[in-house]
Amino acid sequence: MLAALEEEMATNATLPLLESNLVFGEGNPNATVLLIGEAPGFFENEKRRPFVGRAGQLLDRLIAAVGWKREDVYITNIVKRRPPDNRDPLPEEIEAYKPYLTRQIAIIAPRVIAPLGRFSMNYFLPAAKITRDQGKLFRFDSAFVVPLFHPAAALRSTGTLEALKASFAKLPIVVKRYEELIQRQEERVSAGESQSAIQEHLL
């Protein structure tokens, strides 16, 4: 299913930034955790893989520090082609790529989503501010969302790096909490509680 979506994107000639390569994303197609960056950079465009440059190396260290492997999670970007000179993605570029992110999320169905930086954070939480809201826990449909600072920003500031490390370390705790909620939900279903009462508990 992800392969079909990638193929559809690759052949969509109406998307912006067509002069660069498609960097669709990679990882476990059934991942519990989805990490979403901004847009591919130079190395990502070369290799057609997300987060393989310096920011990606930091992301790899953050993933390893919580005892996970890169291939256990799924990594992608909100804009899936490189903007020229690594400039910020434009609002219309984000809009054009958004429907594909929506469908990618629906296929992977992650439990915990960590947007990296404000562009992907604002997809889930349009009014959020990254400095105020990073590391906080939000609900989005049936997933938990924990906005994090972008690793590239953390490479430029020690304070940001420390905050990113501390917030990233919360992700396994959030995964555990989600699993406990699901477990309790299943117990309630077998005890015959109504679905609407259960839903209230989850939210």
Q: Which stretch binds ligand URA (CB under 6 A): 50-58, 88-96, 129-137, 153-161?
A: 50-58
Taking CB under 6 A as the rule, does residue 39 contact ligand URA?
yes
Residue choice 94, 121, 152, 174 for contact with ligand URA (CB under 6 A): 152
Nearest to 116 by CA among 67, 143, 158, 79: 79
Taking CB under 6 A as the rule, does residue 37 contact ligand URA?
yes
Measured from the CB atom, the residue of 64 and 182 that comes closer to ligand URA is 64
Size of the site for ligand URA (CB under 6 A): 13
- Rounded Cα gap, residues 123 and 92, in angstroms: 13
Shortest Å, Cβ 151 to ligand URA? 7
- Supply the DSSP string of 55-123, one letter for each residue: HHHHHHHHHHHTT--GGGSEEEESS-SPPGGGPPPPHHHHHHHHHHHHHHHHHH--SEEEEBSHHHHHH
Taking CB under 6 A as the rule, does residue 77 contact ligand URA?
yes
Taking CB under 6 A as the rule, does residue 44 contact ligand URA?
yes
- Rounded Cα gap, residues 148 and 22, in angstroms: 24
Shortest Å, Cβ 192 to ligand URA? 47
Q: Which stretch binds ligand URA (CB under 6 A): 34-42, 140-148, 176-184, 195-203?
A: 34-42
**Residues 164, 112, 72, 179: what is their CA dihedral angle, to the nearest 10 degrees?**
120
**Residues 176, 178, 179, 183: what is their CA dihedral angle, to the nearest 10 degrees?**
140
Taking CB under 6 A as the rule, does residue 25 contact ligand URA?
no
Residue 49 φ/ψ, nearest 5 degrees:
-135, 145
Residue choice 17, 55, 58, 198 for contact with ligand URA (CB under 6 A): 55
Residue ranges that bind ligand URA, judged by CB under 6 A: 37-41, 44, 50-51, 53, 55-56, 77, 152
